[in-house]
Amino acid sequence: MKPAPRPLRHEDHGLLLGQLALVLAPQARTLPVAVSLLLVLLLAWRWLLWRRRAPLPSRWMLGTTALLVLLVACALVWQDGGGIGRELAVALLGAFVILKLLECRALSDATLVTQLSFYLLLTLYLSDQPFWLALYSLAIGAWVLRNWLLLHHPEARSRLAIWPLLGRMALLGLPWALALFVLFPRLEHPLWQLPQSAQSGTTGISDTMRPGSVGQLIRSPEIALRAEIAGPPLPAAALYWRALVLWEYDGTTWHPSRLRRQQLAPAAGVAGSTAGIDISITLEPSRQRWLFVLDRGQALSAGAEAAITADGEFMARRPVEQRIRYRTRSTLTPPAQALPPATLRLALSLPPGNPRARALAAQWAQRHADPAARVQAALRLFAAAPFAYTLAPPPLGAEQIDSFVFDTRRGFCEHYASSFVFLMRAAGVPARVVTGYQGGEYNPMANHYVVRQSDAHAWAEVWLDGRGWIRVDPTSAVAPSRIEQGLDAVVGSEAADWRPSRQPGWLKDLRWAYEGMVYTWQRWVLQYDHARQQRLLQALGTSVGAGPLLAAVLGMLCLLALVPLWRRRAPADPVGAAYARFCAALARHGCTRAPAEGPQEFAARASARLPAAGEAIAAVSAAYISLRYGDLPADRHAQALASMRAGIRRASAALRR
């Protein structure tokens, strides 16, 4: 006959409800607000039932609730364009685990909820893997294991030291975890690609530029990249993180040249390139193909699998869907090169319109025979006229260049870069727009630069005979502090309070320490690939391949696992262990227990021999006899054990007097 399932106690339901709330809490980082509210409502419903000790809902009510959850999911799928992203899939799993908790009556149901809690913990890593999440999931995983043990063995609460037991289990598994982590590096590319909703896509610099496109990024505090530069820190004015070159202008928007973008060549390796500045860049996911380099990139590490265009843009083989790390070599000196006729025509082409700007540029061309003098004339215009750098420029008219240069005269980098390139082309000077990031905060604790989306920038390059493409940043003529000191130095009160440079010194130091820990976690854990494994093995001074090393380490760990079998001993008994310590303390004061002497007889003899501790000795012996030979319930068992340990402390204190 099959035994009846063991019903759950009220405190068991509380444990399951608490652990599920803790497991689902970090999901709010990535789930839509509506989905998070739905999960909160379901959890609140279950909490109210538990708080009031009300009966669980009927199957009909649970079925209706499940149908409503599915309808909400279908509505979100329809709103998202018909695709089920990973966030919605995780939300559905969480919702149905809560519904399972609403019908949880027996131990088997509680076991299933606990197992699904571990699956929900793993889903936390589908979006990103910050180091605090690893600490959080380890702590919550240990808590779930504790609850699982208490569900199956309620008496363990008074008979076992649960946390020391879990600590010993973790220490036994730690060598295996470290060995497997070192010997099995992260795959260069994932085995499969998880679906991702459109709203969760991460973007940064776009491949087009129009008024407002860069300004949208300036208000974002998200990190775009981190960079380690070999040697001393560079001045802020030298930190131009180059991404794209834009050639074609239609009167509103700048676009790259499709023909030049198709002229790809394999990127040179760092090991075989010429001298330059070595930089290691950790690029955040952008879902774009372009890779950032400092100023003029010369080479890229082979692991990045990138090609270089005719304009010096580095393009990855596939969009950057996850955080990547690559090494580059750059130079701050532009190479002198010839300008082919096709490129010259592209660098001088302009759409019709903007007659006032064309007339001004024609005056410069007549007045200055040297193209470099025309460049300086444009910079003097921006510096002398009442231009202003602002995050809230007024709207431009139909003739955008004329409207900005002669009317509004208020804007940010893309306004100045676009107007400058137009004026240069109208004056007969080949010019182009370059987009990327400028500046970055230097973390003195971790020795790297942090470049945020708010550092997005656009500048210009002009071609001068004998010198090649020369960078010209017209923003520096209007607001030189923007280039030398960063965004806050020029926008002032327009900058939001989230800007890191607006924080007090002590908070900035804490933030740098946290940023350093995050960067270390990313470098040595999240980006531990085959190349880093090889560098680690070389640093350890071993020339053995990964295969033989794997066999040797696993063999050593297997031998280590046999040690507990060789030194097998009876499981620790807290009552017996406490009484043994008590007898050892009395033996140190000349009262040794005989092998066949009972606890009551030994207590009488010890009290006569050591009268100062007689009362405590009697209390300890009485508690020991009730624990060893009595049939105490679980709550009184714990009280008696605590009383026994307190008596041992009193006896020890009396003997020391």
Residue pLDDT, tens place only, 105-128: 888 889 999 999 998 998 888 877
What was the pLDDT predicted at 240? Answer: 93
User: Is 74 annotated in the active site?
Assistant: no
Which among 413, 448, 488, 637 is annotated as catalytic? 413
What was the pLDDT predicted at 69? Answer: 86
> Who contacts 357 (Cβ-Cβ below 8 Å, separation ≥6)?
401, 402, 405, 406, 419, 422, 423, 426
User: Is 465 annotated in the active site?
Assistant: no
Q: Model-level pTM?
A: 0.68
Total Cβ atoms within 10 A of residue 343: 19
> How far from each other are the two terminal CA atoms of the chain, in whole angstroms?
63
What was the pLDDT predicted at 498? Answer: 46
The answer to whether the CB of 270 falls within 8 A of the CB of 293 is no
* DSSP-derived 3-state class of residue 651: helix
- Nearest Cα to Cα of residue 387 among 246, 482, 304, 315: 482
Look-up of token digits 């989230």: 498
The answer to whether the CB of 537 falls within 8 A of the CB of 549 is yes
Longest dimension (CA), the chain: 120
The answer to whether the CB of 613 falls within 8 A of the CB of 547 is no
Angle of helix 599-609 versus helix 614-629 axis, rounded to 10: 170
Kindly give the residue spans of alpha helices, DSSP state H, lying in 25-160. 33-51, 59-79, 86-102, 107-123, 131-152, 156-159
- Nearest Cα to Cα of residue 429 among 438, 439, 420, 417: 420
- Exposed, middle or buried, 57 (CB in 10 Å: 0-12/13-18/19+)? middle
Where the chain has pLDDT below 50, the residues are: 1, 191, 197-202, 493, 495-498, 570
Which among 295, 311, 455, 473 is annotated as catalytic? 473
The answer to whether the CB of 287 falls within 8 A of the CB of 203 is yes
Which among 13, 415, 448, 457 is annotated as catalytic? 457
For residue 634, the one-letter residue type is A
User: Is 104 annotated in the active site?
Assistant: no
Pairing of strands 410-411, 388-389: parallel
